[in-house]
Copies of this chain bind each other. A is one copy, B any other.
Amino acid sequence: MADYTYQYLNVTFPPEHQYVAHVEINRPDKLNAFIEAMWLELSAIFTRLSSDPSVRAIVLTGAGDRAFTAGLDVKAASEGLLSDSPGQPDLDSARRATPLRRHIASIQDCISSIEKCEKPVIVALHGIALGLAIDISVAADVRVCSADVRLAVKEVDIGLAADIGTLSRLPKVVGNFGWVKEVALTARVFGADEALRVGLVNRVFENKAETVRGALELAGLIATKSPVAVQGTKELLNYSRDHTVQEGLRYTTVWNSAMLQTKDVSAALLSGIQRRKPTFEKL
């Protein structure tokens, strides 16, 4: 197994679920709040997992009991983003806007590595899950949570419109635009039941341990399927979200014109007939 050692995130491969990677945000003493090194690591990890043939599904969790993540580490962010650069006290607004634009884009790119990762990503939310927690969650494929979760699109409370993905992705994850508007405009905290009702999470578990276990089981189930089929399904669903039905159908024909030439189809059909579990080559 390749070495996936990072400073702020743990990557492990739970032996009970073949082909599953478990990524853990690991700065629990700071409620897993994000500093720049962390989103760079997150991006590096998901980019590697995307083409790692030993990995077919990924679970993302937060270390500690209290928080999935409290979001951006405001202290660090306010230093980085908002301060006048010392020695450049009189930059004009256009000259301030340019590095801001590049900075936002670079954080977005890091979080988008979850969406671009070719393998399905399941997020297990618990405890405090604010701001960047939502940006991250909606870049993943499936979300489950613990009953104690406290979620919020928190950005308006610090004077800004969320800009790392929540406002672009949440309306496409949850089909209740009025609810999205309300939670984004008020920054109010909502819990597990509400998240389940509107469809932000697929399932609520009793506590964090059950949530992580449930997420790993779901990932484990997906990892038993043909990786050609699973990765194609993620790609085609994400493509379809952003295109017309006609465009989606056309892209699908081209995608599957190569992908149907896999041995996985006959392997799957044969093991179906033989009532045994199929095995699929690495992809």
Contacts and interface: CB of A to CB of B under 8 A. Distances in A.
Contact of A249 (B112, B244, B246, B269): B112
Contacts of A101: 253-254, 256-257
Nearest to A161: B232
A167 B241 CA distance: 9
Interface stretch (A5-13, A59-67, A171-179): A171-179
A259 B178 contact: no
A235 B225 CA distance: 33
B251 A254 contact: yes
Contacts of A142: 178, 181-182, 185
Identical copies in the complex: 6
Given A156-B229, A267-B159, A234 B185 contact: yes
B82 A258 contact: no
Contacts of A115: 245
A262 B248 CA distance: 26
A163 interface: yes
Contact of A263 (B92, B157, B168, B188): B92
Contacts of A258: 93-94, 97, 254, 257-258, 261
B261 A96 contact: yes
A141 interface: yes
Given A94-B259, A263-B92, A202 B225 contact: no
A162 B161 CA distance: 27
Interface string A165-196: 10111011111111111101111100000000
A258 to B, nearest CB: 4
A148 interface: no
Q: Is the interface of A mostly helix, strand, loop or mixed?
A: helix
A35 interface: no
B249 A185 contact: no
Interface stretch (A14-22, A38-46, A102-110, A205-213): A102-110
Interface string A133-169: 0000000011100000000000111111111010111
A159 to B, nearest CB: 4
A269 B163 contact: no
Contacts of A237: 167, 171, 177, 180-181, 184
Interface string A69-110: 000001000100110000000011111111011101100100
A-B interface, 5 closest residue pairs, ranked by CB to CB distance from nearest:
A175-B175, A168-B248, A161-B232, A176-B199, A258-B258
